[in-house]
Amino acid sequence: MIKKTKILFLSFSILIIALILQLGYLFNTKSLTNTQIQKKQDFVSISQMPDLAISTTASYIRNRSLSDTFLIYKDDPTLREYFPSTFTYSQGIK
């Protein structure tokens, strides 16, 4: 076996080992534990609300699956009616 072949096999082995180690590490540290899942389920059974709280600027995004068909046009509280275009943002009012 020449040196180049050895290097090739070595680099492939390194990649495979790295992948396996990485999967093991992620599985042990980053996956959801049963208690976490249980807590989430408990919370949802209290709140009974679908969708995740990842976007809360407008209500049609937060509980998108429950919102109205036309909410997108009027619901965001920063939107103000504005004649030449359909709407404008009220940036200054806080």
Partner 1 sequence: MFKINLHLIEYAINTILRSKTKNIFITTIITLLVFLLSSIFLISNSIKYELNQTVDSLPQIIVQNLKGGKSYDIKTKVANEILEIAGVADAIPRVWGYYYFQKAGVNFSLIGIDQYEMKYKNSLTKVAQSFNLEGESMVVGTGVQKTLQNNYYDKYFNFIKPDGGFKKIDIGGVFDGDTQLESNDVIVMSNDNLREILDMRSSRATDIVVKVNNPEEIPMIASKIKAKYPNMRVVTNEDLKISYANIFDYKSGIFLALSLIALFTFFIIIYDKASGLSSEEKKEIGILKSIGWKTDDVLKEKFIEGSIISLFAYMAGIILSFVFVYIFQAPGIRLIFEGFSVLKTTFELPFVFDMQTLSLIFFITVPIYIAATIVPSWRTATLDADEVIR
Q: Please identify which residue in 31, 83, 84, 92 interacts with partner 1, judged by CB under 8 A.
A: 31
- In 3D, which of 44, 82, 78 has the Cα closest to residue 58? 78
Paired tokens of 19: 């992948």
Q: Please identify which residue in 69, 84, 85, 92 interacts with partner 1, judged by CB under 8 A.
A: 69
Q: Pick between residue 27 and residue 83 the one whose CB is nearest to partner 1.
A: 27
Count of Cβ atoms closer than 10 Å to residue 17 Cβ = 10
* Alpha-helical regions (H) of the chain: 3-29, 34-47, 59-62, 71-74
Q: Does 83 bind partner 1 (CB under 8 A)?
A: no
Q: Pick between residue 4 and residue 84 the one whose CB is nearest to partner 1.
A: 4
Q: Does 13 bind partner 1 (CB under 8 A)?
A: no
